[in-house]
Chain A
Amino acid sequence: MRLDKAALIDRGSKLRFSFDGVGYTAHPGDTLASALMANGVRLVGRSFKYHRPRGVVAAGSDEPNALVTIGQGAEQDPNVRATVQEVFDGLSARSQNRWPSLGFDAMGVNDLFAPFLGAGFYYKTFMWPKAFWEKLYEPVIRRAAGLGALSGLPNEAKYEKAFAYCDLLVIGAGPAGLMAALSAARAGADVILADEDARMGGRLLAETGEVDGRPGVEWAEATIAELTQMPNVRLMPRTTVTGAYDQGTFGALERVASHLADPPADMPRECFWRIVARAAVLAGGALERQIAFQNNDRPGIMTASAARAYANRWAVAPGRRVAVFGNNAGIYQTARDLMAAGIEVPVVVDTREGAAEDVGTRVIEGAVVAGADGRKGVREIVVRRPNGAVRFAAEGLAVSGGWNPAVHLTCHMGGRPEWDAELAAFVPRRGAVPGLFPAGAARGVFGTAGCLADGARVADEALTALGHKPQALNVPRAEDGAYDIAPMWVVPGKGRAWLDFQNDVTAKDVRQAAAENFQSVEHMKRYTTQGMATDQGKGSSVQALAILADATGRTVSETGTTTFRPPYSPVSIAAMGAGGQGKGFAPERLTTSHAATLEMGAPMMEAGLWYRPSYFPKAGETTWREACDREAAMVRDSVGVCDVSTLGKIDIQGPGAAALLDFVYTGTFSTLKEGRVRYGLMLREDGTVMDDGTTARIGPQHYVMTTTTAAAGQVMQHLDFVTQCLRPDLDVAFTSVTEHWAQFAVAGPRAKELLEGLCDGPIDLPFMGCGPVSVGGLAGRLFRISFSGEHAYEIALPARYGDALFRALVARAEELGGGAYGMEALNVLRIEKGFITHAEIHGRVTAFDVGMQGMVSAKKDCVGKTMSQRAGLMDPGRERLVGLRPVDGGELPMIGGAHLFAEGDAPVRVNDQGYITSVAFCPALGESRALGFLKRGPDRMGERIKAVDHVRGETVICEVVDPVAFDREGGRLRD
């Protein structure tokens, strides 16, 4: 119901929105919750477990009931709190956890079985038979009990992440936060003021009290206007500070576009901020709690502060008659505000004796509300006194059980709050988070005047700690009444008194948990689910603790709290992971030949972040194998060209360069002559192979190292580690030049002929030689190295010439009967030669395992040498590199990953003898070849062995052979 009074809404314009398909109107300034209330909608959701009808109970992010789904399709956003969602034109919201409709929910039958569904019900009932849990019980329970659902579609909406830095972060823009921000800003500090509401002002927007002789809203507006003008202040509305982390880092979620009907295409829906603050003031206020009684979850029953907020800020109420109930002085202000707004208040029920104020309506002292009637919305309340009960008709009830300071952020680094018996609330422990200063209601200073003064005082304390000189600030005048609370948590009596609305936990459930010996607060929480899900028990946990304390004969202080963890309120994974999806997670690295390769129709494959061609199809070829076989044969017969720029290239210079290489490689590079290249094996300190590659000496103190594509980053980090941490004595500098050079393999009997037709001058390099080369007057590098077993070169030019060089090389190769070859053919060629890749050196093999123990120089130390000599790593029984061929010749199925067994053994784990790492059909041999690791492999040449691929269900009998299958003497690559 919309009230006829002034409010912070723009009545001059109308917004259309829908809820469960029914159209309604609202005004700018409305939240979905206030707009539904304005339209007489009290029933907004169904509860999690019993599907009980529920309405709005709060006016902020602590709302447990009014969770709705916003939007359609991939944009669908479940569990949005109607109390936080601003209405925009065209907003479409749906209720959750009901079928077939909110008004008639078939699962409401659960409520009738409530006596059987108490705390621990799932644990006790669905234990047996065990197999039924996953297949039957859990799916059924999950369907019956739940919150909103995701769309199941990829979320295409934009999200953003950002960092911000400031001297002072002020969390919350109520009276304490505004004063803190003003004080710090005037003192010249860089200030960020963040508030989760769309409009700053906090409770000043919801209360009628005056500040400095004018309405609190006006004072807030003037203060915000001043802050807005100041260059050292950044205001962040719609921003919830969600977590406090080490070294002054805070997480914050900004809802950037979720309140807009038609946001610009490039605007993110949400932004997740990491705010780094030298100090912070927590002025997040306090959250009002209820008092539990029978059927206290009926729609229309809400906190007193929410009732005031709806009446004062939005001019709405759950009905014409709203009763008030509570245990502190705040109930009288509530009655006054409601009546001033034109609402009839039939009764004010005060649990205390002798504290009544004259508010112009009936007050009953020393009484409680013992029950409520009206299933889909409260109709009547039962007021009980020692001498009997009276019924009052009411469409709403405003309840106050007192206030809980929002201590959450102060507990995010392991600190626990302290119980303040006088306030009957937990308050922050001083210094719980270094540099975080609680102020105002967040630390138990209730009342506007108290908050204004405390905000300024605490800001000054924080600024002094930062070395700023605080400015003396006049604290504006305001009046506070007494708080005067007499704790009451639950009204004794029959029936279910609800604590946690979101998880359907009653006072009885907590007592039952205690009776079943779940007496630790953490056990009680998990047994009853009290305090879980989106609201994390903001409105209910303290009541539950107090009841547990009572049931176990302890004080609340002794009972303690559960752990508060970030986030304060839900943060979508999409926002927290913004930028980390798709290409943001795996950026593309493209070679200079990428465009030409695509023009040639080559399918690309991923190699880490790089994209490399699988093969280059020719007209008439229908399978990749045809292309691969042709390309492999082409390299053996004429010449092939392949982009190898993805290999890591590290330029190493300085007097210590040779010593560095000697220390990181198993072999010796200080003895390498200028103009020569050497193969090197690199170990981790634990003796396992890290990487391999070739290194060329191109000057007295100048080397170029190549790494594998996969390990380029790891090797760079390793060199940084070795030079900075182990050998800072070495005078050496190095840098990655992987992107600097476009480098192409030119391999095959006609490789030299091809290059001589392209380069300026004759090519005259010995095998494993290197030197400068000139192409069209451009200075490049030429290496005579081979990964194919053929006479081969790698030619490098600065990357900007890569595209032209690749096209020229391919064109000339084609003239000579060759062409480009891809990764498939490259793999075939190296398997024919028994050359290893990271399929073999996969992080668990040693130099001994790959037959390279002879490359570990005895004359010098190197990383990994000592540990590689451990007996267990030199055991002949280890799985060691072998080649495998099918005993019948022909083709092996593609059984990479198959395990090896003795021919007569059952293919089970205990009989495992090794495994296959690489497989290819080798055109040069006319049969398939595999590389793999076999126990005592080198001693078993000629043996028959059984390869079993359990995944694909293949078994092949193989013969153990030398890993090098083609041109074992190496004549072809040397000439």
Chain B
Amino acid sequence: MRLTCPICGERDRREFYYKGDAVALSRPDPDAGEAAWDSYMHLRDNPAGQTRDLWYHASGCGAWIAVTRDTVTHEILKTELAGEAHNAAG
């Protein structure tokens, strides 16, 4: 598997650490309530198809990357720096 780090270019997946769903970018407010925090911490979809998750270029530049990929075809559809993805999410 190959991932394109927006800073370093295309690299082998062994250089990356996998965190999980990119929902981690959308941290609720401290007082958002139990349901919001429960959802943020624990509830995950398991899609057959498009998904977006966070990878860390641990053996590279240290960038956190939001990767959009397809769990069925294994196609990598998009990679972007997590900071930019976070700002875009607003």
Contact = CB atoms under 8 A, between A and B. Distances in A.
B86 A274 contact: no
B53 to A, nearest CB: 12
B41 A245 contact: no
Contacts of A163: 12
Given A274-B12, A720-B64, A725 B37 contact: no
B30 A725 contact: no
A249 B19 CA distance: 23
A724 B82 contact: yes
Interface in B66-90: 73-76, 81-83, 86-87
Interface in B1-22: 1-2, 10, 12, 17, 19
Given A248-B2, A720-B56, A865-B30, A728 B24 contact: no
Nearest to A861: B30
Contacts of B86: 724-726, 728
Nearest to B62: A720
B43 interface: no
A245 B30 contact: no
Report which residue of A249, A276, A721, A865 has the largest number of chain B beta carbons within 10 angstroms of its beta carbon: A721
Contacts, number: 62
Interface residues of A, number: 24
A229 interface: no
B64 A867 contact: no
B30 A866 contact: yes
A721 B17 CA distance: 12
Nearest to A716: B62
B54 A725 contact: yes
Interface string A718-732: 001100111010000
Contacts of B54: 725
A431 to B, nearest CB: 11
Nearest to B31: A866
A865 B29 CA distance: 11
Classify the interface of chain B: helix, strand, loop or mixed: mixed
Given A274-B12, A413-B74, A686-B41, A725 B82 contact: yes
Contact of B1 (A246, A720, A725): A246
Contact of A725 (B24, B58, B74, B75): B24
B64 A721 contact: yes
Nearest to A869: B30
Interface in A408-447: 413, 434
Interface string A275-301: 010000000000000000000000000
Contact of B37 (A717, A861, A867): A867
A755 B83 CA distance: 46
Contacts of A246: 1-2, 74
A927 interface: no
Contact of B64 (A247, A685, A725, A865): A725
Given A248-B2, A866-B30, A728 B83 contact: yes
Contact of A685 (B2, B41, B56, B73): B41
A865 B37 CA distance: 11
A532 to B, nearest CB: 27
Nearest to B86: A728
A413 B75 CA distance: 12
A345 to B, nearest CB: 51
A717 B17 contact: yes
Interface string B37-58: 1000100000000000010101
Nearest to A685: B41
Interface range on chain B (Cβ under 8 Å from partner): 20 to 34
A249 to B, nearest CB: 6
Given A247-B2, A413-B74, A717-B58, A724 B63 contact: yes
A854 B10 CA distance: 47
Nearest to A870: B34
Given A246-B74, A686-B41, A861-B30, A721 B1 contact: no
B2 A724 contact: no
Nearest to B14: A274
A792 to B, nearest CB: 33
A146 to B, nearest CB: 34
Nearest to B84: A728
Interface in A222-257: 245-249
Contacts of B28: 866
A866 B32 CA distance: 10
A245 B14 CA distance: 13
Contacts of A248: 2
A686 B42 CA distance: 10
Contacts of A274: 12
B83 A725 contact: yes
Contacts of B37: 866-867
Contacts of A724: 63-64, 81-83, 86
Nearest to A728: B83
Nearest to A736: B62
B37 to A, nearest CB: 6
Contacts of A716: 62
Contacts of B82: 724-725, 728
A549 B64 CA distance: 52
Report which residue of B2, B54, B64, B76 has the largest number of chain A beta carbons within 10 angstroms of its beta carbon: B64
Contacts of B58: 717
Contacts of A413: 74
Contacts of A276: 2, 12
Interface string A844-866: 00000000000000000100011
A286 B75 CA distance: 30
A413 B56 CA distance: 25
A249 B41 contact: no
B48 to A, nearest CB: 13
B52 to A, nearest CB: 13
A593 to B, nearest CB: 28
Contacts of B1: 245-247, 249
Contacts of B76: 247
A825 to B, nearest CB: 35
Nearest to B63: A724
A865 B76 CA distance: 35
B41 to A, nearest CB: 6
Interface in A684-720: 685-686, 716-717, 720
A314 B33 CA distance: 78
Contacts of B56: 717, 720-721
Report which residue of A274, A716, A717 has the largest number of chain B beta carbons within 10 angstroms of its beta carbon: A717
B2 A728 contact: no
A414 B81 CA distance: 31
A434 B19 CA distance: 27
Contacts of B87: 728
Contact of B27 (A245, A434, A726): A726
A781 to B, nearest CB: 25
A726 B58 CA distance: 18
B24 to A, nearest CB: 6
Contacts of B12: 163, 249, 274, 276
B19 to A, nearest CB: 8
A331 B37 CA distance: 72
B1 to A, nearest CB: 4
Nearest to B2: A247
Contacts of B83: 724-725, 728
Nearest to B22: A725
Contacts of B64: 720-721, 724-725
Contacts of B73: 434
Contacts of B75: 434
A686 B86 CA distance: 21
A726 B24 CA distance: 8
Interface in A711-765: 716-717, 720-721, 724-726, 728
18 contacts: A246-B1, A246-B74, A247-B10, A247-B76, A249-B12, A274-B12, A276-B2, A434-B75, A686-B41, A717-B56, A720-B56, A721-B24, A724-B63, A725-B25, A726-B27, A728-B82, A728-B86, A866-B37
Closest A-B pairs by Cβ, 3 of them: A247-B2, A728-B83, A246-B1
Given A245-B1, A726-B86, 6 more contacts: A247-B10, A247-B74, A248-B2, A434-B73, A721-B19, A728-B86
